[in-house]
Amino acid sequence: MLHNVKVVLVGTSHSGNIGSAARAMKVMGLTNLVLVDPQCSVDEQTMALASGAGEIAQNAKIVSSLDEAVSDCQLVVGSSARSRTLEWPMLEPRECGRKFVEEGESSPVALVFGRERTGLTNEELQKCHFHVCIPANPEYSSLNLAMAVQTLSYEVRMAYLEKERAAFPKAEIPEYSRHEEFEMLLQHIEKVIKLTGFINDGQPNKVMTKLRRLFSRARPEVQEINMLRGVLTSVEKMNKN
């Protein structure tokens, strides 16, 4: 199950942070590292700070976009400070760990971390089903990238060990849509509501952001996605007639 947990680092600019993140992962039994558009390479500094976890950094998958990194994931959680401008479903770290263990049994799941200085963009955060915020000291909440990876990886491991001890029963997890299927649904919705005149090409963003938030919160299952797309296709056919 732990191999199904992806740790996704977006736009990392310091090679040592890749090594430190790899070390944090290995300590907690995670091995699946994905680098999105890294601004540095895996080098000697990476290997020095990996301190025995160099194989995780060396075997990291490198992709150009977050969409590519999480396309096969049924659960995507972005690490973020609480935002007043972007309201989104939030998880506590402990809840996040348990959710990953439950859903990671059947499908890849992803923990997404942003750039060292600026974090994840609003667009990237909107691609996550949930955000998770580490409740650090409000007077000094400065966590570096490796610390954040370590903290959330620890919560995943603790939930995994708790499950191994059968402290809670195996949950019945629905077959949620993968990220790629979810994005195709949103593209289909945008196409149809433009076709019907509900929005025009000049102002789709606000409506689509709210719809994305609605469907992220609802987390439609595969059958529900297929049903919704069938309805949208029916609307398209009626407009052609």
Domain extent listing, the chain: 2-167, 179-239
User: Which residues, other chains included, contact 227 with Cβ-Cβ below 8 Å and sequence gap of 6+?
Assistant: none
User: Which residues, other chains included, contact 197 with Cβ-Cβ below 8 Å and sequence gap of 6+?
Assistant: none
With CA atoms as reference, report the closest residue to 131 among 122, 139, 141, 140: 122
pLDDT band at 180 (very low <50, low <70, confident <90, very high): very high
Q: pLDDT at residue 164 above 90?
A: no
Residue 116 is predicted with a pLDDT of: 93
pLDDT band at 171 (very low <50, low <70, confident <90, very high): low
Q: What is the largest CA-CA distance in the chain?
A: 65
> 100 near 159, Cβ under 8 Å?
yes
CA–CA dist 33, 109 (Å, integer): 12
> 14 near 115, Cβ under 8 Å?
no
pLDDT band at 40 (very low <50, low <70, confident <90, very high): very high
Residue 84 is predicted with a pLDDT of: 61
Q: pLDDT at residue 168 above 80?
A: no
Q: pLDDT at residue 198 above 90?
A: no
DSSP 3: G
Neighbouring-strand partners of residue 63: 36
> What does pTM read for this prediction?
0.84
pLDDT band at 77 (very low <50, low <70, confident <90, very high): very high
CA–CA dist 211, 205 (Å, integer): 10
The structure tokens 């590292």 sit at 33
Q: What are 214's two structure tokens? A: 């609605």
Q: What are 40's two structure tokens? A: 């540095």
Average pLDDT estimate for 189-194: 91
Tens of pLDDT, residue by residue over 1-15, are 899 999 999 999 999
171: amino acid identity, one letter? A
Tens of pLDDT, residue by residue over 57-71, are 999 999 999 999 999
Residue 169 is predicted with a pLDDT of: 63
Average pLDDT estimate for 100-123: 94
Q: Does domain 2-167 sit in CATH 3.40.1280.10?
A: yes
Q: What is the CATH number of domain 179-239?
A: 1.10.8.590
User: Which residues, other chains included, contact 44 with Cβ-Cβ below 8 Å and sequence gap of 6+?
Assistant: none
From first CA to last CA, the distance across the chain in angstroms is: 50
| Per-chain mean pLDDT for the chain | 91
Pairing of strands 61-63, 109-113: unpaired
